[in-house]
Amino acid sequence: MSAAGAAVKPAPTTKGAVPFLVIPKEGEPYLAGSKCGKCGEVVAGSREVCGKCGARKTMQHVKLGTTGKLYNYTVVYRNFPGVPVPFISAIVDIDGGGTLKGNLLGVEPVPEKIKFDLPVNIVIRQVPQKDKDGNSYLAYFFEPRS
Ligand SMILES: [Zn+2]
């Protein structure tokens, strides 16, 4: 008799924290987006229809840019237990198109220190925590560009 019920646990892997963080078999991880072949609109993630012009079957897979500018932010003071606060939740306009929401690192989380249009790098890092199956995750963050 086989070991029925004793499911084989897959080996832990590294995954993207969001579906559009692509980890290719070769080369560096990157953020993927869709670009409209009709109007040029760029969005993070995969799209079938352009949200700007409504065109269908024109969306092409693209790599999103790795730099951008701070559009807006909020300083988060309360969160789930175990999540260190305060931190900066930011909206960044990506150079080359698209917009992302994520955490801004490397800036003191006080409004006097946070400048709109701050040039940022969009970096991909390993998250320190693992899930219950031992999988580790890559996530993207924003850092001031010096
Ligand atoms: Zn379009």
- Measure 22 CA to ligand 1 centroid, in angstroms: 23
pLDDT digits (tens, 9 = 90+) for 50-75: 999 999 999 999 999 999 999 999 99
pLDDT of residue 5: 61
Q: Which residues surround ligand 1, an ion (CB under 5 A)?
A: 36, 38-39, 41, 50, 52-53, 55
- Measure 68 CA to ligand 1 centroid, in angstroms: 21
pLDDT band for position 49 (cuts 50, 70, 90): very high
Q: Can you give the pTM of this predicted structure? A: 0.88
Q: Where are the chain's structural domains?
A: 12-64+124-139, 65-123
pLDDT of residue 142: 98
- Lowest mean pLDDT segment, chosen from 2-6, 17-21, 84-88, 136-140: 2-6
Per-position DSSP letters for the chain, written without gaps between them: ---TT-PPPPPP-EEESSTTEE--SSS--EEEEEEETTT--EEES--SB-TTT--BS-EEEEEPPSEEEEEEEEEE---STT--S-EEEEEEEETTS-EEEEEEPSS-SSGGG--TT-EEEEEEEEEEEE-TT--EEEEEEEEE--
In this predicted structure, the answer to whether residue 4 has a pLDDT above a threshold of 60 is no
